[in-house]
Each structure stands twice: as structure tokens, then as C-alpha cells.
Chains A and B, each alone.
Chain A
Amino acid sequence: MLKNRIIPCLDVKNGRVVKGINFVDLKDAGDPVEQAKIYSDGGADEICFLDITASNENRDIIYDVVEKTSRKCFVPLTVGGGIRSVEDINKLLNCGADKVSINTAAVENSKVVIESSKKFGSQCIVVAIDAKKNGDKWEVFTHGGRNNSGIDALEYAKQMEQHGAGELLVTSMDRDGTQVGYDIELMSKISSKVNIPVIASGGVGNLDHLVDGIMLGNASAVLAASIFHYGKHSVQEAKEYLDSKGIPVRI
């Protein structure tokens, strides 16, 4: 039976982890390679890097980070943040990323999704959808949540599937950082709209939220950051909890 995945996400800025595991015994808490290795050894099903480097001159650092990580981590590595073109995707894949997650570029120029999924295969193209509720619908935001595209998130999800996305990483902007749980309605609506896997993101504060994301939101995978980083829970604990609720996980 296919297992539901748990994916810890690390924010990387100028090559350093800015929101990560806060363990005292870490040699270098800012080293993405070391953090990723801790997660993969601890049973993470995949690792996600979100590059939040703001300045253009430091953008190339992420390639070096990905290269070093992929030599040490033997679970899938997804890299997102700042991807603008098919060439950016090519470079990340060549450095050892297994998947890339595309956000703003997919909204602004859908050809990036169409061309890259044709060229590299749908399996490595994740479209990241940042959605915010407005009335009875959700709108897609870009540029790290700063710009409202006005596009309907459900329609957009379907369109990205048709363009060749292999997975959707859906983040609720209303919930992100709140720790009150995923936007279950958004997750389940998108999941039933498309036939590709949905990764739920944004709002996890406890292990029950992970359960809800899968059981109620119909997500194939759950992504979380802070509950793992600050030692609140380990990935292993999360898996054991999910398992106790009857959710198939890799233990």
C-alpha cells in the first residue's frame, strides 16, 4: 500500500537555514546539509528546501547547497523558491534536486510548467500554489504571498495538472504560521478537483493537524516546518501518531 508522506521543509537564506532544527547538539545549526541529513536519518519521506534568498547576487549559493545535500541524502529532495525559467530548473536538477517546486513563474508564464514537464518529466515538477480565501473562493498569490493574481485556485490547480505538473504543493496563506491547522476545505476541494497528488502545507501546530490534512483534506503528503524544527515533535513521533490513527506511513 502506498504510504502517506511526511515532508519537513527548511527555509534557506543565503545558503543558511534560517528556520530549522534547534537542537543543542548540532554542530552548525545553520548548515542545510546537516539538517537535511538529520531529517532523512530520522525517517523523513522527502526533504524540502525553500530558498528565500532575496538578493540576486546570492542566488547561486543554493546550487552549491543542493549539490552537497544530494551527496548525503538518499531520499527525494525538492527545491523551491526563486525559480524563474526552464534553465533554473535544469541547473537545480543537475545539482541533484529530485524535484523542483515552481510558484510565481508558473502563474506568470505557464510555458515554464509545460516545457519543463515535457523536458524533464512530470515526476520532477511540483507546482506550488499559495492560496488565500476571498469570499467563497480562494485566490492564488505570487511573490512569496505579496501579490494577489486574482486567479481562482481551484481552476488554476486543474490547469496546472493539464500543463504537466506531477504534484501540487498547496499552502493556505490564511493558515501559514498560525499553527491552527491546515485549511482543510481548500485541501479537500483541490484534491478532489485533480488526479495528481496534493501536498498540504501551511498551519501545522500539532500532530492532529497532520492527521486532518490526510484524513479530511485528502492530501497524499503533509509538509510542515516549525513543529519539527523546534523539537516539539520528531518525524518519527509524527509517523507513530499517524500510524496509531490508522494512516499508512513508512515506519
Chain B
Amino acid sequence: MKVTIVDYNSGNISSVINSFKEVAKDKVNIEVTSDLNKIKSSDKVVLPGQGSFKSCVDALNKINGLIDTLNEFTISNKKPLLGICVGLQMFADVGYEETETKGLGWISGKVSKIDNQNGKYKLPHIGWNQIKIIKDSKIFKDIENNSHMYFVHSYEFIPENKKVISATTDYSSNIVCSVEKENIFGTQFHPEKSDKMGLKMIDNFINL
């Protein structure tokens, strides 16, 4: 089995690579690349993302054919993909960070700034928060409800169809922190930095 972490210059992905390699040991081949053929031949793909929505979409666009390849992998071939943080946010139709930017459009919805209630809540939402699992998801196997996960973000994904939401977290409002739509998985939190529970989730994804 081959799992590919898409390296598209979206900022710091070393922690994602380290955590997947830790979980995979020697059993699963973890590839880190933006090579289109390698992505096509993967069994699973991880789409990380740090920085702003716009900078990540721009970085995807900079690599010729990458978005088409990801569309083919995910939408046509229906192979499993995990988006992390801005990687998840880009599933949306549109994002409003920096300026209005078109997303991948895989899950209808938008990405807007978290309402900090006039400064009552600090942004970014940084630290450990509990996830409320509201839908049975394969990536939550053996993960207890209310487990702590590590978050760092100022924008939130608001999907149109609430049925795709698999977990939420409570901050200034109820924030969508995990989605699942058929073969598409995404987490707003960082499983790669969420200690044992996060590694368990990565293990679940690898073993889908």
C-alpha cells in the first residue's frame, strides 16, 4: 500500500510526514511528493495545508495539473483522501481569508472567519479542545467521544449539508472540526500533533 502526502509548498509539513511515518513503520509506503503520476498510483492521499486559504489554493494551482489529478483521484476514482487544517478547508466552494478565493468544491460550503464575539474569544483558536463525535466515521474507530485534539486556526468550514459533519468542537460557537463525505475525509485539527489519539486517527486512515 502506498500513501502519498501531497507536497505543494503549503508551508510546514514535516510534522505530518513524521507522524505518518511513525504510524506506518515499515508496513506502509509513505511518499511525499507533488509528482502527478505518483499521486495517481497511490492508494490514499493526504492533503495538508498551512497558512491562508488563498496561499494554499494558489500553491495548488502553481503545480500544473495537480488540481485535475486530485479531482480525478478523489471525485472520479473515489479513492480515500484526508485533508488536514487548510487541506480540509479547501474542500469548500469558496474561502474568504485575505480575499474571496475559489476552493476545490468537493463539499459545498464556505470558509469564513470564526466569530470572536467582539474580542471575547482569542484568535487563532490555539490549543487542545475536545471533539464531539456526531457521526460514526471510520477514522474515529477506537477514538472516544470528547477526546482532545490540537487546533490552530482562525477560519472555519461551514458546509451546506450538515450530514457531512462527523465532529464538532466548542469554542466561540460550535465549530465543524471533522467531515466525511464518501471517500473524502477532513480534520480541522492536527492529528499529527494530537499525541496518541491523533496517531490513532492516522492509523485508522491508513487502514481504511
Q: Is the beta-carbon distance between B22 and A71 smaller than 8 angstroms?
A: yes
Residues of B within 8 A of A124 (CB): 11-12, 50
Would A74 and B19 count as touching, CB distance under 8 A?
yes
Instruction: Tell which of A71, A122, A166 touches B18, judged by Cβ atoms closer than 8 Å.
Output: A71
Cβ–Cβ contact A120 & B22, under 8 A: no
Q: How far is the CA of A250 from the CA of B116 in the complex (A)?
A: 22
Check: A75 CB closer than 8 A to any chain B CB.
yes
* Known interface pairs A1-B170, A123-B152, A124-B12; A45-B52 also in contact (CB < 8 Å): no
B28 in contact (CB, < 8 A): no
Residue contact A250 to B148, C-beta cutoff 8 Å:
yes
What A residues does B15 contact at CB under 8 A?
Answer: 70, 74, 96, 98
Q: Which of A98, A122, A250 contacts B128 (CB 8 A)?
A: A250
**Is A2 an interface position by the 8 A CB rule?**
yes
With A3-B129, A196-B123, A220-B126 already in contact, the answer to whether A76 and B14 are too (CB < 8 A) is no
Could you tell me which residues of chain A, from 51 to 109, have a CB within 8 Å of some CB in chain B?
A: 70-71, 74-76, 93-98
- B98, closest chain A residue (CB): A118
Q: Scan residues 24-45 of chain A and give those whose CB is less than 8 A from a CB of chain B.
A: 40, 45
Q: Kindly list chain A residues whose C-beta atoms are within 8 Å of the C-beta of B127.
A: 2-5, 45, 197, 220-221
Docked-complex contact B129 and A120, CB < 8 angstroms? no
CB pair A121–B50 under 8 Å, yes or no, is yes
Q: Report the bound CA distance from A94 to B12 in whole Å.
A: 6
In the complex, the answer to whether A74 meets B50 with C-beta atoms within 8 Å is no
The number of residues on chain B lying at the interface, defined by a beta carbon within 8 Å of a beta carbon of chain A, is 38
Cβ-defined partner of B50 (8 Å) among A3, A75, A76, A120: A120
A residues near B128, Cβ cutoff 8 Å = 2-3, 5, 45, 250
**Residue A195 lies at the interface, judged by CB distance under 8 Å to chain B:** yes
Complex contacts, A98 vs chain B, CB 8 Å: 12, 15, 193
Asked if B193 and A121 sit within 8 Å, CB to CB, the answer is no
Asked whether B52 lies within 8 Å of A121 as measured between CB atoms, the reply is yes
B122–A195 CB distance below 8 A: yes
Q: Determine whether A183 belongs to the interface, using a CB cutoff of 8 Å to chain B.
A: no
Q: Mark A160-185, 1 if CB is under 8 A from B, else 0.
A: 00000011000000000000000000
Stretch of B66-74, B99-107, B194-202 that contacts chain A: B194-202
Q: Could you tell me the distance in whole angstroms from the C-beta of B170 to the nearest C-beta in chain A?
A: 6
Q: Is the CB of A120 within 8 A of B12?
A: yes
Please give the distance in Å from B14's CB to the nearest CB on chain A: 4
B79 is an interface residue with CB less than 8 A from chain A: no
Give bound CA distance, A2 to B194, whole Å: 14
Query: Does A121 contact B123, Cβ atoms closer than 8 Å?
Result: no
- Give the residue of B55, B122, B192 whose beta carbon is less than 8 angstroms from that of A74: B192
Docked pose: A5 CA to B150 CA in angstroms: 11
- In the complex, A120→B9 CA distance in Å? 10
Is the pair B51, A75 in contact by a Cβ cutoff of 8 Å? no
| Distance in Å: Cβ of B141 to nearest Cβ of chain A | 19
On whether the beta carbons of A3 and B148 are closer than 8 Å, the reply is: yes
- Of the candidates A74, A98, A195, A221, the one having the most CB atoms from chain B within 10 angstroms of its own CB is A74
Also in contact, A220 and B122, with CB within 8 A (given A74-B199, A93-B12): yes
Which residues 1-27 in A have Cβ within 8 Å of B in the complex? 1-5
Q: List chain B positions with a Cβ less than 8 A from chain A.
A: 11-12, 14-15, 18-19, 21-22, 50-52, 55, 116, 119, 122-130, 148, 150-154, 170-171, 192-196, 198-199
A–B complex contacts, Cβ < 8 Å, 27 sampled: A2-B127, A2-B151, A3-B127, A5-B127, A40-B195, A45-B128, A70-B18, A74-B193, A74-B196, A74-B199, A75-B194, A75-B195, A93-B11, A93-B14, A95-B14, A96-B14, A96-B18, A97-B12, A120-B51, A121-B50, A121-B55, A123-B126, A123-B152, A167-B126, A196-B122, A220-B122, A221-B127
